[in-house]
Amino acid sequence: MLRGGLDANVLIYAADNRDPAKRDRAQDVLACLAGERRGVLTAQILGEYFTTITRKAAFRQDPLSAALRIAEYRRDFAVLNTTADVVEEAARGVCAHGFAYYDAQIWATARLSGIEVVLTEDFADGREVEGVLFIDPFSPKFDVIQFLAEESVR
């Protein structure tokens, strides 16, 4: 069964009322993946979400609201932890592929956990790196229902 890793930008846009189209798309993606139990988060992504939504975003939320949302995400999605193996693989990703470190950590977690796809707008849409495909869920051509219907992207 195809499972999709989620980047923090999907979680952040789901809370951002400044761009209704991205907000609605992010909310649809999250609802569909949660409903099918097919989404995967990492502890890193939850931390990025909390930091951005409480301190950096123009649409800040109070820490308690953000913490409650994190609890909901933990209930709705599998959450993978950052391990020493992930850190080592991320460092290799920086060296081999020129990733920024935290992007490399997302890639490394997906690769080491057998997650075929990461939904993010932070990589080139359709780029594949060592078995991990990056798909932009905000691209006009992305259809979450079709994505969930696929057993594999390869």
Query: Per-residue pLDDT averaged across 52-71, rounded?
Result: 91
Q: Are 39 and 30 in contact (CB under 8 A)?
A: yes
Q: Which domains does the chain have, with CATH numbers?
A: 4-149 (3.40.50.1010)
Q: Is the pLDDT of residue 1 over 80?
A: no
Q: Is the pLDDT of residue 132 over 90?
A: yes
Q: Is the pLDDT of residue 151 over 80?
A: no
Q: What is the pLDDT of residue 60?
A: 87
Give the whole-number percent of the chain exceeding pLDDT 70: 95
Reference 146, options 28, 56, 23, 22; nearest CA is 28
pLDDT band for position 17 (cuts 50, 70, 90):
confident
pLDDT band for position 90 (cuts 50, 70, 90):
very high
- For the record, the structure tokens of 153 come out as 């992207």
Q: Are 129 and 117 in contact (CB under 8 A)?
A: no
Q: Is the pLDDT of residue 87 over 90?
A: yes
Which is it for the CA torsion 111, 113, 115, 120, positive or negative? negative
Residue 92, burial from CB neighbour count under 10 angstroms (0-12, 13-18, 19+):
middle
Please provide residue 73's backbone torsions phi and psi, each rounded to the nearest 5 degrees: -60, -40
pLDDT band for position 59 (cuts 50, 70, 90):
confident
